[in-house]
Every structure is written in C-alpha cells, then in structure tokens.
Amino acid sequence: MVKIAVLGCGLMGVKIAGELAYHGHRVKVYDSNMNSLNTVFERMEEDKRYLRTEGLLTHKNFIGQILCMSRLEETVSDADFIFEAVVDDLDVKQDLFERVSHLCKKDAVIATNTLRLDGAAVVARTSFQERTTGLRFLFPVYYIPEVEITPNTFTSPATIEKVRLLLEKMGKTLFFRSGGEPLILSEDQREERKRARLEQIRNSSGMTYFFESTLPALSHRGNNAPPPDDEEVVYRSEHDHDCAICMDRNRDCVLCPCHHMITCHECSKMLLNRRDGCPICRKDISEVIPVYLS
C-alpha cells in the first residue's frame, strides 16, 4: 500500500483519487474549498454506481482507503506521491507547490496534472525540484490505461522511474508527450478503450494484459488489477492501525454519529474543536467515544 495525497477536489482530482484507491492505495484528499471537500464521498459513490452499471468495477468497493483532509500539512506530511489537480492557474500552482515542498518528505514525488502550463514554471519556487514532474491521467481515468508524463528541466530519472513503477502496478502505461500539445482522446477513442477494458475484465479473471490486441503500441504484460469480489484481497500493512491525522498514535476512539474509527483520541478532539468533519465520510462530528482494546 502506497501513501498518496491528491490536492484538489474537482472533476479530475476526485477521479484520480478514486482510481488510486481502487488499486489498494491509501489516499488523502485535500481542498481549500470545504464545500468541494464535503462532496467527495458522494461523488465517489456516484462513480462506483456508474462503474458497476457499466461492468467496469470488479468488486463492490475501492480496496484502498480514502480520507478527506482540511489541512494541507496533514494531507502531505507522510505521502510518498503527491498529485496536484487544482485549477490551471500558474500563480495558484506555484504557491501550492512551494508550500507542499516544505511540508512533505524530501523524497516524495510531487506531480502536477496541468494541461498546458510550463512544468518548470509551475515548480519554480519548489524545494528539491528534481522530484517534480508533470503527470496527467487521461479522462475517463478509470478505464484509460495511458498516463501522460511531461518531465520538466529539473526532473530526475529516479523520479520518472518511481512514477513508472507505481503506475505499471496499477495496469497503467506511462508515455511521454510528443510535441507541445497534450493528448486528448476523442469520444470514439474513449469508447474503444472502454470496450477493451470490459473485454479484459471478462477474459482475465482479475489478471490484466491491458489492451494488448487493441493498443499494441502502449501495452505491456505483468500488471495486476484489483481482484473481483470472489477473490478480493484485503490490503494490510503495519500502519493500518495508525491515526490518519498524526500517523503516530494508534486509533483508539470512534467518531459519532458515523462510527468511523480512524483517528487517535487527541486528533479526534482536535477535529471536534475546529468543527471539522470525519476524514472518511465528512459527516459532522457530534461526539468522540474512546475505545479500550484489551
């Protein structure tokens, strides 16, 4: 399980977070707009209903964990990968990248989902610029295998390799932008990939050989998709009982009325005092109940 932060709860941010959680990763989602943050759970449920209806979801729920965070530091402090998907405004992105680079781990990869902005300009004020890159998931994220990478002048080969390994384990194919224009798929191209994904699900029983016959230029073997319901695996790690906020103390309380057990008592009190919502479902917290494990 990889720890990932997604910054921005717009259309692409929510779908990127959902795709990452679908493949078993722990995803923290952040947005400075509380109204947008509070609708993440609802929009992801809509996505899951659509995927089930279309036959594109091989199990009932996303395997990974999704947490909605209202504080940037809490979102990025322990992340291995940080995917930015905020409005395509250079000043906004520069400010966000600068702040994030001082709050996250020094080896965390920070990627921008920008469509047309210059990547080097986006990271101009960022610390450790060698771990930054452009990375754009193609729409619709859930069944498009290609992910476009646009390294900037600072991006190191090690950063590109980290991104490649993460994406290939998700059944994604990394490709470099050719020329100055981003790849934007037509409706027919999206439908072709959707049909290929459905065929892959029907034939592979959870083992992916992504689009090998229909997209030979971008396909490769060896990627694992989440198993279907009858083969579902629960991803666990030594950190599964850590508080989602401080990542230091154990989870030892239940939030009411949603009954999620996701934080330590100290952090849950902090959420309650600042009138923040549950990190999982964003429901208001009315009470915190301590839990004592024998």
d(Cα 45, Cα 34) in Å, to the nearest integer? 18
Give the pLDDT of residue 205.
55
Ordered by start, the domain boundaries in the chain are: 3-185, 253-290
Mean pLDDT, all residues of the chain: 87
Helices (H), the chain: 11-22, 34-37, 40-54, 72-76, 90-103, 119-122, 157-169, 187-204, 265-273
Please list, residue by residue across 14-25, b when 16 or more beta carbons sit within 10 angstroms of its beta carbon and e when fewer do: bbbbbbbbbbbb
**80-123 residue pLDDT tens:** 999 999 999 999 999 999 999 999 999 999 999 999 999 999 99
Domain 3-185 is of which CATH architecture?
3-Layer(aba) Sandwich (3.40)
User: Residue 257: pLDDT above 60?
Assistant: yes
Residue 133 has pLDDT above 60, yes or no: yes
CB-based burial label for 264 (10 Å; 0-12, 13-18, 19+):
buried
pLDDT tens figures, 265-274: 999 999 999 9
Residue 217: its pLDDT value, please?
41
- Return the minimum-mean-pLDDT range out of 117-126, 220-229, 234-243: 220-229
pLDDT above 90 as % of the chain: 67
pLDDT score for 242: 86
Residue 239: closest CA among 104, 40, 80, 16: 80
The pTM of the full predicted model, rounded to 2 decimals, is 0.84
Q: Which residue has the higher pLDDT, 61 or 218?
A: 61
Prior bond of 145 cis (ω within 30°): no
Please give the distance of CA 184 from its chain centroid, rounded to a whole number.
21
Cα separation of the two ends of the chain: 27
pLDDT tens, position by position, 150-180: 999 999 999 999 999 999 999 899 999 887 7
